[in-house]
Amino acid sequence: PRHTAGLPQVLRGAHRAVRDPGMAGVEMASPRDDDPTTPLADRATQQDSHSKIMAVTGCLLAIYIYENMLRLYGHIWELSARPFWLVDSLVILLSAADTLPSNSKSIATLMRALRVVRLVLVLRKINVAKRIRRAVSSHKARFRQNGFDLDLTYITRTCIAMSLPAVGPEAAYRNPMSEVQRFFELRHAGRFLIFNLCKERAYDPELFGGRVEHIEVEDHNPPRLAQIVDFLQRAGDFMDSDAGNCIAVHCKGGKGRTGVMIAAWLLYSRFSTTAADALEWFASARTGHAATAAQGVSQPSQHRYVTYTLDMLADGGYPCPTINLTKLVIKTTPRVDAGGGCTPWVVVEEDGCVVYDGAKQGSFVRMERGQAELAFPLDLQLQGDVRIVFYEHGPKQDVRLCFLWFHTGFLDSDTVVFPKPQVDTACHDRQCKVFSDNFAVVVVAAGVPGRDSAERAASMRRILPPSPGLLERSRRMRAGYDRREDDPAQTMRSGALGPSRPTCRPPAPTPPPP
């Protein structure tokens, strides 16, 4: 399997698509050397050309026979689910038989027919892969220029959002790695830096000439504040090194985690001055103007961390005080089991590490239907990024109910209430099947420092400001978009596809190459 998996799938498919009609067309269009209508003077030339064609065909068939033997040997258990492989093998074997000296015209005729059938199957497979990619990308804008069809969007002229570059079967419904490589080589050769935010996916940075930075962020969660700062500083240094540089950010789908980082970048470079504008700009550009629903940042904790970024930039850094978490409270009972109640337990994490696990403590308390609240007494010293996760203790397995993130430097009182719209997972239950409209999570802490306290100032972690050159380029870029002088798609958007958004005018999704 490792031999066949390593072969470039796209090149093999393209070669088949060209080879099969080419060989069939040459055979059908060229006069046979035994045709009585062919002049004698031309028969020697035809025989010589035919010999060369057969030699090349023999070499190609040898390669394909070797490949099919490896594929059939390594994936014999998959034959029932992949009948195309059997057709492929049959065509290759008959092609080999057709190259042997024979006066039978029936094999040649059969071969031409099978090559046409094989071509149809290959083209159908390619078309299905394109349809799958478009379905997976949903309403997100796609880049369709110069033969590309990628789940990739220019958020600004120097900032790209995209989905994961994939290999193997996953490339059928995500961005094929080879196409992403070709995109950057063609449009931003030597002047790009990719940020991979996938905790669950990694690839060799050398696939892009070493121009990949890996920042691990869990899916459906925000980056930790230190990770956001790290990203901003690295991206800022790279953009300052050359005015023509470009950054690209991706997670798995290129939406949630990617949106948080790009919104933070828009704020850092002063392209946007409010968190709402940065998030809306990303959503509008990532969606595409023909779509009906915004595909932006949808998790409340991710929104919260974009707001933290704005406050951090305003203060030149962020405080990181230590607090004492004394109690967590669930307001109203989540309706999970048949009786309308649940048995919740809680996990508390600090900077990605578990510091309290209710299951290990055996703290399973039944919450009955209609119960107003349930409290979890705690005594935890916490600093920095905190994640609270609630689970339901089920008879067979435990399932996650909801969660939320906060940073200790941005708590403004000892008691903070997170209503349902600000709690991840719960916020998406719009029909209140599990969580009522009054559902909330209450965080009770002690030792939260005041806004102007000495403890808060002592725990401040500074961030380097953006360079004047970056700010000036960003200012001119935003002014150009706002005036629509740099937007070649203005006429199109105001015509058949409808007017552009009045509060946020994103760039053309496919700008000209630099």
Would you call 342 a catalytic residue per the annotation? no
Rounded CA-CA distance 347/362 in Å is 12
Catalytic residue among 251, 342, 427, 504: 251
DSSP at 422:
G
Residue 190 CB-density burial (10 A; 0-12 exposed, 13-18 middle, 19+ buried): exposed
Rounded CA-CA distance 54/101 in Å is 11
- Residue recorded with tokens 């459906």: 220
Residue 157 CB-density burial (10 A; 0-12 exposed, 13-18 middle, 19+ buried): middle
Rounded CA-CA distance 323/447 in Å is 5
Torsion of CA 301, 302, 307, 308, to 10 degrees: 70
CA dist 113 to 56, 100, 106, 116, Å? 21, 18, 11, 5
Write out the two tokens for 281: 């700009």
Sheet holding 440-446, edge to edge: 373-383, 322-331, 440-446, 415-419
The residues with which 415 forms a beta bridge, in sequence order, are: 444
Rounded CA-CA distance 283/298 in Å is 10
Residues recognised as catalytic = 251
